[in-house]
Structure 1
Amino acid sequence: MSKVASWFKTHRVAIREYLETKNPSCKPPHEWWVVLMLVEDVSAATTATFKQLQKDDTLVSRQRQAIANLRTRYKDYVKANGPLSSGQREYIDIERDDVSSNDFYSARVADMTTFLEDMGGFVSNRMQHAGQASMENLARNLSKGLLNLIAGLDEVVAERNSLNGVSSDVLPPVLPHELVTLNGRDFTAIVRAQRERLAARWVPISAEATMDYIETEFRDLKNAYRNETPLRNALDGTFPGTSSVESDFSILKWEIDIHRMSLTDFSLEGVMHARQFKLLQKLTF
């Protein structure tokens, strides 16, 4: 759909002139062009987000952020409000506002009309030819569809469970620049929630000692973040999934070409396999 809509958008003037000259029975109405231009804009944003999600080096945390950014972009189109609380839903004016099917998002129909007019002269001309009554009905339908799309993005999650279903668990923060934003109470709650999984790698008699050690390490990280300016600057400038080896290790003063990267990957893979050797020996088939 995105490619088709993009093609029509690129050649819209020539197509319009041809249709006006030939006047075939299949000539679309003015409203069709308005819908097409909106679909192209929405699908272009979606396609860009999908490309981010499909990158091999994109972390799950960045996937969630990409989806959240897409939802925010759609909300900005019509200045949508939401998610709405039960109290906020009571003040919705159904004559002026439109609401998503799950009642979580609302927007003024007039804001959709404004957004369509801002798309340029081609769309504005089509709106004028369509007439006010027709455009009011179309704007309401488009607003409803966009709000449902926004609400649907709330249900899109990057995590999957063992059955390849949607996981209800939110991945805990694990990277240093994420951990320094937590307070001690929240960090302890996260570790306790993951204790059963973590304990599989602990010696049973030292479980409590290991818990205490982890919390001590966390406090040391927080203190270092507050007191050591180079560390704080490094963590504040971290963008997962976007930095390169050369930028992170520029002190080495040389670039890693494809052959050196292959050697690095091979040695890293060897280390990972070596660490799991004893565990792999215990497996029975």
Structure 2
Amino acid sequence: MVSFRSITRVFGVFGEALKNSRLGRPTEYIVGRYIRSLVAINLTALRIILSNVWGFSLLVDGATHGSEGYFDVRVSFELSGTIFNKHLLAISMGNLSHKAVNYAERVLVVLSKLGDDNLLRKRIGITSDGAATMLGCHGGFAKLIEQACGDLGEGSVSVNWCGSHQLNLAVGIFIDALIDLVNFRSILGAEITFTRKFESVRSCIGICPTYANTRWESISECCDFLSSNYEEIMQLHKTKGVTAPSSSWWLILFAIGELVEKIKQCFRSMQYRTVTMKDQYEALEYLVKYFQMKFEEQLEGEDASVSIFKVAKHIGNAALYSSALYNEKIDEIEQHRLENGLSNAITGFITGINEIKIEVKGAITATTSTTQIDIIAMEDMTEFRLLILPYRNRLRRQYGSGVVSCIWKQVRKLRETYEFDSTFKDIVDRSCNRDIVQTWKLVDAKGDYTRLVSFALGLASIPPGTHTVEGDFSSLKGVKSAHRGSLSNYALEGQLQAKQYFELIPLANSVGARSPIEK
């Protein structure tokens, strides 16, 4: 639902490429006709592409804008040694409620039209947020799709709960723990309002970034802005006769500023387009280690053992003004209260991160043991056998009856070459810090491990998060108000499909469309 002006720009590019578009002043009918054509072309390309992969995954999320409900569906897959994440369809829900059965019925219809039962048999993963509608054990979307796949005789489906969503919940609990301590959220909101309310304040220090409960990048920016302008803000409060935050509140703001910056970095590393489950687990592990190294008394053992002494030291040294506030503005009782409160919040956060488990169903090895180092590090071939057996039917259906034996031989060759060829070993070892696609390209430079690469990257393509789906809905930010007449229900789909048109067509043609799709 974006303005015609916006969608016209998109179709200007599309029409120029096709050499047959003269939009002029388009009506909703004209816009709809173009978008239907574009969707048909892109879905044809996706049908060709998905017919050439052994497995694919679904990423899904629902959203409502105004009175219009959408269920956005993306597909993730491996093709020609690369992982792709593409928009399938933003399915309009019409008058239907946002229930799992309605979601499942519409997705199954789309998949059946796109590639009948053969396409559904290729599904190897589902990723969504943690809502009961999506992941409920009894009638959740993932369960319904899994049952439909099982009815066709194909099991072994991985179901993932978005890692970023789980991190978001853990951070929310961490921030909420500071509410009783210093009423953190409420006062933070009041300070943001203060910097925006008065012209004299804005001209002096600028405007504080807005804060959203689920956008931890924004809270990091807020903490940084307020900390950097502490003296000016306190003076402006006095000038305006507005009650300023307490010294205790400022100390907590200074103390968590560095912490939420690390959290922001973790979110960013978990949300690039082709991030794998292994990447997300490594990002979470790095975040936990940072908190442990900074605050724990000992790193051994499963339970967090946060040191009050280390927390007190952090509070007193977090910012330029922390020491003076800590030692001169609050008494010893308040010091202990802040130390214990922040210590409990940090303990809960470390515990929460350690408990994050992205895979709701499916063996964790299926989506973490996907690099050549992982395969080489397996104690014996039994571990790899357990990894490939659940997917053997899908692989054989795509590549022929001998493919499992072929992959098995390539694994043996990989392990033996690594052991006896020092040059190859150096290549493998040096590639460890690269992303998984680049890693396999370096190792398979001669094409000796093509089927193994396809299998490994196919598993790696099972997405650990839904950030790309949520990114699709960001297109709704361009919506005009409801009373404006130039709205189109086609515009969201038009923008999303137009964005990937020039990527899908060459990709479909590269894998041998019977008659090339003309750009």
TM-score, normalised relative to structure 2: 0.39
1:193 is displaced (CA, Å) by: 4.7
C-alpha change, 1:144 and 1:67, in structure 2 (3 Å) is: same
Q: Which of 266, 289, 311 does residue 49 from structure 1 map onto?
A: 266
Q: Which of 372, 379, 386 does residue 192 from structure 1 map onto?
A: 386
What is residue 143 of structure 1 aligned with on the other side? 343
C-alpha change, 1:78 and 1:183, in structure 2 (3 Å) is: same
What is residue 228 of structure 2 aligned with on the other side? 10
> Is 2:416 the counterpart of 1:223?
yes
Separation in 1 of the partners of 2:383 and 2:333? 56
1:178 is displaced (CA, Å) by: 2.2
Separation in 1 of the partners of 2:269 and 2:376? 26
Q: Which of 296, 308, 313 does residue 114 from structure 1 map onto?
A: 313
Which secondary structure state, in structure 2, belongs to the residue aligned with residue 201 of structure 1?
helix
Separation in 2 of the partners of 1:13 and 1:167? 52
1:72 is displaced (CA, Å) by: 1.2
> Is 2:394 the counterpart of 1:177?
no
Listed as ranges, the gaps of 5+ residues in structure 2 are: 1-218, 446-500, 515-519
Counterpart of 1:108, as a letter, is S
What is the root-mean-square deviation of aligned Cα atoms in Å? Answer: 3.6
Paired-residue identity, %: 12
Please tell me whether the aligned partners of residues 251 and 322 of structure 2 are also in contact (alpha carbons under 8 angstroms): yes
1:232 is displaced (CA, Å) by: 1.2
Please tell me whether the aligned partners of residues 295 and 307 of structure 2 are also in contact (alpha carbons under 8 angstroms): yes
What is residue 325 of structure 2 aligned with on the other side? 126
Separation in 1 of the partners of 2:412 and 2:297? 41
> Is 2:280 the counterpart of 1:63?
yes
Please tell me whether the aligned partners of residues 49 and 67 of structure 1 are also in contact (alpha carbons under 8 angstroms): yes
1:66 is displaced (CA, Å) by: 0.9
Work out the number of aligned pairs and report it.
233
Please tell me whether the aligned partners of residues 57 and 241 of structure 1 are also in contact (alpha carbons under 8 angstroms): no
Separation in 2 of the partners of 1:77 and 1:69? 12
Separation in 2 of the partners of 1:231 and 1:224? 7
What is residue 355 of structure 2 aligned with on the other side? 155
Which secondary structure state, in structure 2, belongs to the residue aligned with residue 180 of structure 1?
helix
What is residue 244 of structure 2 aligned with on the other side? 27
Separation in 2 of the partners of 1:196 and 1:167? 13
Q: Deviations over 1:84-120 (max 9, x none)?
A: 45xxxxxxxxxxxxxxxxxx31212111112223324
Please tell me whether the aligned partners of residues 62 and 240 of structure 1 are also in contact (alpha carbons under 8 angstroms): no
Structure with the bigger percentage of strand: 2
Please tell me whether the aligned partners of residues 80 and 147 of structure 1 are also in contact (alpha carbons under 8 angstroms): no
Please tell me whether the aligned partners of residues 78 and 112 of structure 1 are also in contact (alpha carbons under 8 angstroms): yes
Counterpart of 1:16, as a letter, is M
1:268 is displaced (CA, Å) by: 5.1
Counterpart of 1:169, as a letter, is A
What is residue 208 of structure 2 aligned with on the other side? none
1:236 is displaced (CA, Å) by: 0.9
Structure ranking higher on relative contact order (CA contacts 8 Å, 6+ apart): 2
Listed as ranges, the gaps of 5+ residues in structure 1 are: 86-103, 160-165, 252-261, 278-285
Please tell me whether the aligned partners of residues 83 and 105 of structure 1 are also in contact (alpha carbons under 8 angstroms): no
Please tell me whether the aligned partners of residues 31 and 138 of structure 1 are also in contact (alpha carbons under 8 angstroms): yes
Separation in 1 of the partners of 2:424 and 2:503? 25
Separation in 2 of the partners of 1:228 and 1:268? 35
